[in-house]
Amino acid sequence: MFLITFLGCFGALRNIICLLKTFLVILTAILLLQIAAGVVGYLFTDMVMERTEKLMMRAVVRYREDPDLENAIDFVQKKFQCCGVESYKDWSQNVYFECSDTNPSLEACGVPFSCCVGLQNQTVLNTMCGYGVHLLEESSAAEEVFTIGCSDKIVWWAKNNLLLVAGLTAGLLLLEVVMIGLAAAQISRIKKVQLERKEYEYRSRSERKESNWYPAFADFDN
């Protein structure tokens, strides 16, 4: 993103057509790839969902390894009031929450605190609220944590907010189209100015040559 923005910004500031053309080509390619991804996602919904769930499961497995990923997962689970990918039991795939006798972790058989029910009403954050929920029956666990997976919740949210999703998508695509149009207009303007400058220089040289040329037998006294 930084590289693409730099190409467009520096190319526009310095009127460098090569950089602007590169910026234009990259933006066009990104736009076409996004449209193609949307079409493929619509035509092969089941395959896309399967791949998405695999990526989400990888994120669950790496939960404690990356602080940024950990914060992102906690945000999603609190925002959509969900837990895991398909259900809260997916957290047993993580080495810290794995429910086995050989797991020495204090979080064994538990889930992250972001899965807990009623988290918004707590004045003091209880990060141990999800401990041991895998040892409970699902009905009892549902009183403590959200048991529905995030993939189902996100799909449900998208279906119930189609206008918002469509608006955001259209806005993003429109912004890219505007940027492509501005880059093309800038390139056209630079070429026009360069052409006018060349024509002006050519006329100036021609006028200088004519002013320095004297016809034969000219009367220099006049």
pLDDT tens string 16-41: 999 999 999 999 999 999 999 888 88
CB burial of residue 97 (10 Å; 0-12, 13-18, 19+): buried
Overall average pLDDT of the 114-126 stretch: 76
What's the CA dihedral at 17, 18, 22, 24 to 10 degrees? 10
Asked if residue 113 lies in contact with residue 63, where contact means CB atoms within 8 angstroms, the answer is no
107: nearest Cα among 129, 136, 137? 129
pLDDT value at position 48? 84
Angle between helices 150-160 and 162-211 (to 10 degrees): 70
CB burial of residue 129 (10 Å; 0-12, 13-18, 19+): buried
Dist CA 165 CA 168 (whole Å) = 5
Asked if residue 24 lies in contact with residue 177, where contact means CB atoms within 8 angstroms, the answer is no
Asked if residue 1 lies in contact with residue 7, where contact means CB atoms within 8 angstroms, the answer is no
90: nearest Cα among 60, 112, 63? 60
For the entire predicted model, the pTM comes to 0.67
Overall average pLDDT of the 117-131 stretch: 77
Overall average pLDDT of the 115-144 stretch: 84
pLDDT value at position 214? 53
- For the stretch 155-211, pLDDT in tens is 899 889 988 888 998 999 999 999 999 999 999 999 998 898 888 888 887 777 666
DSSP state letters, 25-84: HHHHHHHHHHHHHHHHHHHTHHHHHHHHHHHHHHHHHTTTT-HHHHHHHHHHHHHHT--S
